[in-house]
Amino acid sequence: MLAYAKTGAFIALLLAIGAGEARAQVRLGAVLSVTGPASFLGDPEKKTLEMYVDDINAKGGVNGQKLQLVVYDDGADANAARTFATRLVEEDKVVAMVGGTTTGATLAMIPVFEEAQIPLISLAGAIQIVEPVRKWVFKTPHTDKMACQKIFADLKQRNLTTIALISGTDAFGKSMRDQCVAVAPQAGISIAHEESYGPRDSDMTPQLTNIKGKPGVQAVVNPGFGQGPAIVTRNYRQLGITLPLYQSHGVASKQFIDLAGPAADGVRLPAAALLVAEKLPGNDPQKPVVVSYTDNYQQKTGQPVSTFGGHAYDGLMVFVEAAKRAGSFEQAKVRDEIEKTKNFVGTGGIVNMSPNDHLGLDLSAFRMLEIKGGDWTLVQ
Amino acid sequence: MSELLQFAFSGLTVGAVYALVALGFTLIYNSCDVINFAQGEFVMLGGMTTVFLGLAGVPLPLAACLAVVVTVAVGLALHRFAIEPARGNGAVVLIIITIGASIFLRGAAQVVFDKRFHSLPPFVGGDAIRIAGASILPQSLVVLAGAVIILVLLWSFIERSLIGKAMVATAANELAARLVGIDTRATVGLSFAISAAIGAVAGILITPIALTSYDIGTLLALKGFAAAMLGGIGSAVGAVVGGLLLGLLEAFSAGYVSSQYKDAVAFLVILIVLLAMPRGLFGGAPVERV
């Protein structure tokens, strides 16, 4: 009997501590694809959020209150994401949400947060999340469309206007190809020829031979992800094509240079500032942010930094700054302040939101890089 | 003209890869009538093990040899722990077991190695050889030569050696083979070991061209299987011819028809060939098993 009483008292004590904790904390939700096919996105996002929420709490929290991060793993399944979204709203009573990782998961969760009137800051790529603008929905990552525009702007600067596209038939390649085709006329670029390749193909010389044979083509753009662009680059040099070659932000990693080898020399591609943190000039406004994030992330996780974790950092900080300006966690006030975000320097660029723009990035978010001697250089 | 030649070179490069994978199917099929869908994973293991041993500081030639040994060990384990206990269940059950094994090996590779793509330096020079306006990488010639050498060895092994004959006998009728004194269990085990070795060599040869990652096996097995069917499954010559044909079909349809539909065109041709010649190009007449 005594044992029971003791246990009971212990549980009551635990509950009291738990309740005390809960009152002092504000809950921030995050539905991320930590496992599954999108884990290379969701895993760094989760680590980043945990790292920075701890850091913020250690420095006294926000508006005098500590943040409690509630993370659910949707495994890149949109149905699971929606279930977790409902749980965040109804049970966890979060004040805002940073996530989901994928476009599918985000689109599935939007109705839940719109109805509950809770701000959602998505970490997914597609433009459809913020176009058309929804009152409670924001996002931090740059879009394919911006990558296309950045490449086209660089082409115009070099007086190159007629291009050929060779794109992967995977989701990334297709989506970016569509965006590039859509924005080409406005940018004054004409696409003279188009080729594609399967995501697992091991030789693209037939497609490139056709491009080589087209008269008038001045440059080649390759929207693609994975190993395809590396093989395209090698085959490009193998065939001795000398036209400028542009890759996409999808391969903006050291791995691409390793795989393509010496063939990568001279290839240009748009990439987030985060990837070239050390190479940015000292007066670059983003430099302190990206260098500090890179150092923190690599030190805490022992893994190389990726832009995906950076998007999570931006999402969290946009929320935190907005909550500070609002002076409370009242959802409507926080939402209004998120929309008023101006000159926020994040890892993905300088964010200037407005009632018609819930992304707030312009083309300066991308840096044009050229590969020289097996390393990145910034194109001025 | 130079275009035609370039498409042909591309076709031969890709085709040699398919031929090497298709050769791996031949031996196991010849010893137990099973199509081993984990063959693509043998190819992956050969390439990935070499890459990772290389990264660990092992000189590449030694790493390649060790990779073959590791893959053979995996092949033997697959036979001992998955195929052997299920013997007597018919070919379909065994084929499904190999599919399971391929999923398992892919998952294991994801954990043991990583999920990134890797490459190996080419064996002989990286500069393309130019012929009449078209170009081919020296490594493509290495892959082609590898396919021919393995073909010759395999053909003489199956047709000329007693053990090879024992394998064919085991596939034809296991009971009769046992009655004439063939150790059928060891014979089938040996066929898994040699197939694994062929797969590993294929993986090492193609990695400088096609790159490698934990999940390349699935598509390679599919294409290699299509090539083997086209050439006539069980025939070593058919595997190589089928592989090269499939590669050429893909390259020419990518070059002349549309890069969107190249796989569709290639598979359509295979369907037509198999309608006309159900046993493939080199399949021969069906043998009555009495």
| Model pLDDT for residues B101-120, shown as the tens digit of each residue | 999 999 899 889 887 888 89
* Structure confidence at residue A20 (pLDDT): 43
> Any residues with CB less than 8 A from the CB of B59 and at least 6 apart, and which?
none
Cβ-based neighbour number of residue B86 at 10 Å: 12
B251 — contact with chain A (CB < 8 Å)?
yes
What is the per-residue burial (b if ≥16 Cβ within 10 Å, else e) of A53-74? Answer: beebbeeebbeebebbbbbbbb
Chain B, window 219-238: residues with a beta carbon less than 8 angstroms from a chain A beta carbon:
219
Instruction: Look at chain B and report how many structural domains it folds into.
Output: 1
Structure tokens at B73: 């060990």
* Structure confidence at residue A344 (pLDDT): 93
Structure tokens at B139: 């490594």
Mean predicted confidence (pLDDT) in A316-345 = 93
Q: What letter represents residue A160's amino acid?
A: L
Secondary structure letter of residue A97 according to DSSP: E
* Structure confidence at residue B289 (pLDDT): 47
B255 — contact with chain A (CB < 8 Å)?
yes
User: Is B211 close to A209, i.e. CB distance below 8 A?
Assistant: no
Domains detected in chain A: 2-143+290-363 (3.40.50.2300), 145-277+365-378 (3.40.50.2300)
Burial bucket for residue A299 (CB in 10 Å: 0-12, 13-18, 19+): exposed
Residue B46 · residue B281 · CB < 8 Å:
no
Flag whether B143 is in a domain.
yes
Q: What is the percent of chain B where pLDDT is above 90? A: 38
Q: Hey, is B118 helix, strand or coil?
A: strand
User: Is B117 close to A230, i.e. CB distance below 8 A?
Assistant: yes
A21 — contact with chain B (CB < 8 Å)?
no
* Structure confidence at residue B86 (pLDDT): 87
* Structure confidence at residue A190 (pLDDT): 93
Owning domain of residue B196: 23-224
B1-13 pLDDT tens trace: 788 999 999 999 8
- For the cut 70, the answer to whether the pLDDT of residue A259 exceeds it is yes
* Structure confidence at residue B32 (pLDDT): 80
B25-74 pLDDT tens trace: 888 888 888 889 999 999 999 999 999 999 999 999 999 999 999 999 99
* Structure confidence at residue A36 (pLDDT): 75
**A12: confidence class by pLDDT, cuts 50, 70, 90:** low
A337 half-sphere exposure, CB direction, 13 A CA radius: 19
* Of B236 and A182, more confident: A182
Q: How far is CA B152 from CA A104, A118, B139, B144, B237, in A?
A: 52, 69, 20, 13, 9
ipTM score assigned to the predicted complex: 0.84
β-bridge partners, B149: none
d(CA A197, nearest CA chain B) in Å: 6
- Which residues of chain B neighbour A240 with C-beta distances below 8 Å? 128, 130, 135
User: How much is the mean pLDDT over chain B?
Assistant: 88
The torsion region of residue A250 among left (phi > 0), alpha (psi -120 to 50) and beta comes to: alpha
Structure tokens at A160: 């190159």
Flag whether B174 is in a domain.
yes
Structure tokens at B107: 């998952």
Residue A121 · residue A96 · CB < 8 Å:
yes
**Distance from C-alpha of A275 to C-alpha of A58, rounded to nearest angstrom:** 28
Flag whether B196 is in a domain.
yes
User: How much is the mean pLDDT over chain A?
Assistant: 88
User: Is B254 close to A207, i.e. CB distance below 8 A?
Assistant: yes
End-to-end alpha carbon distance in chain A: 79
For residue A166, the surrounding DSSP H or E stretch is: strand A162-168
The pTM of this model reads 0.80
Residue A91 · residue A72 · CB < 8 Å:
no
Mean predicted confidence (pLDDT) in B185-210 = 91
Q: Hey, is A213 helix, strand or coil?
A: helix
Flag whether B271 is in a domain.
no
User: Token match 């809960």: residue?
Assistant: A22
User: Is B260 close to A231, i.e. CB distance below 8 A?
Assistant: no
Flag whether B266 is in a domain.
no
Flag whether B40 is in a domain.
yes
Task: For residue A132, say if its preceding peptide bond is cis, omega within 30 degrees of 0.
Answer: yes
Indicate the range of A224-238, A291-305, B253-267 predicted with least confidence. B253-267
Flag whether B241 is in a domain.
no
Strand A375-378: give its sheet, edge to edge.
A190-197, A162-168, A219-222, A245-247, A268-272, A366-372, A375-378
B104 half-sphere exposure, CB direction, 13 A CA radius: 12
- For the cut 60, the answer to whether the pLDDT of residue B287 exceeds it is no
Mean predicted confidence (pLDDT) in B212-219 = 88
Angle at B120 between CA B117 and CA B125, to 5 degrees: 140
- For the cut 50, the answer to whether the pLDDT of residue A23 exceeds it is no
Structure tokens at A175: 């989506």
Flag whether B202 is in a domain.
yes
B259 — contact with chain A (CB < 8 Å)?
yes
Q: What is the percent of chain A where pLDDT is above 90? A: 59
* Structure confidence at residue A332 (pLDDT): 92
Mean predicted confidence (pLDDT) in A132-153 = 92
